[in-house]
Structure 1
Amino acid sequence: MAKEDIPSASKDLQELQRNLSLLIESVQNNSKVVAFMKSPVGQYLDRHPFAALTLLVFVVMSAVPVGFFLLLVVFTSLAALVGVMLLEGLVISVGGVALLCVLCVLVFVSLSVSGTIIVSYVAMSSLINYWFSPRHQTPVLCRFMADPGKMAF
Structure 2
Amino acid sequence: MQCNNVTTIPKGLLQLRDRLSSMMDSLYCDPKVAELMNTSMGQYLNGHPFLALAVFVFGAMATVPIVIFLTFATVTFIGATVGFVLLEGKSLHYLYNTYCPLLQCQYTLSSCVV
TM-score between the two structures when normalised by the length of structure 1: 0.42
The aligned amino acid for 1:67 is V
Q: Which structure has greater helix proportion? A: 1
1:49-103 deviations in whole A, cap 9, x for unaligned?
A: 33311111112222321211110111122134233xxxxxxxxxxxxxxxxxxxx
- In the TM superposition, 1:22-37 aligns within 5 A as 22-37=22-37
For structure 1, list consecutive stretches of 5 or more residues without a partner in the other structure.
Answer: 1-5, 84-153
Per the alignment, residue 63 of structure 1 pairs with 63
Question: Higher RCO, 1 or 2 (CA under 8 Å, sep at least 6)?
Answer: 1
Query: Residues 39, 76 of structure 1: CA spacing in aligned structure 2 closer, same or farther, 3 A cutoff?
Result: farther
What letter matches 2:28 in structure 1?
A: Q
Partners in 1 of 2:18 and 2:49 — Cα distance?
23
Q: Could you state the TM-score of these two structures normalised by the residue count of structure 2?
A: 0.54
Residue identity over aligned pairs, in percent, reads: 36
Unpaired runs of 5+ in structure 2?
Answer: 1-6, 85-114
Give the Å deviation of 1:34: 0.6
Count of residues paired in the alignment: 77
Moved over 4 A (4+): none
How big is each residue's C-alpha offset from its partner over 1:107-127, in whole Å with a ceiling of 9 and x where there is no partner?
Answer: xxxxxxxxxxxxxxxxxxxxx
Deviation of the 1:44 alpha carbon = 3.6
Map 1:98-137 onto structure 2 (within 5 A).
none
Correspondence for 2:81: 81
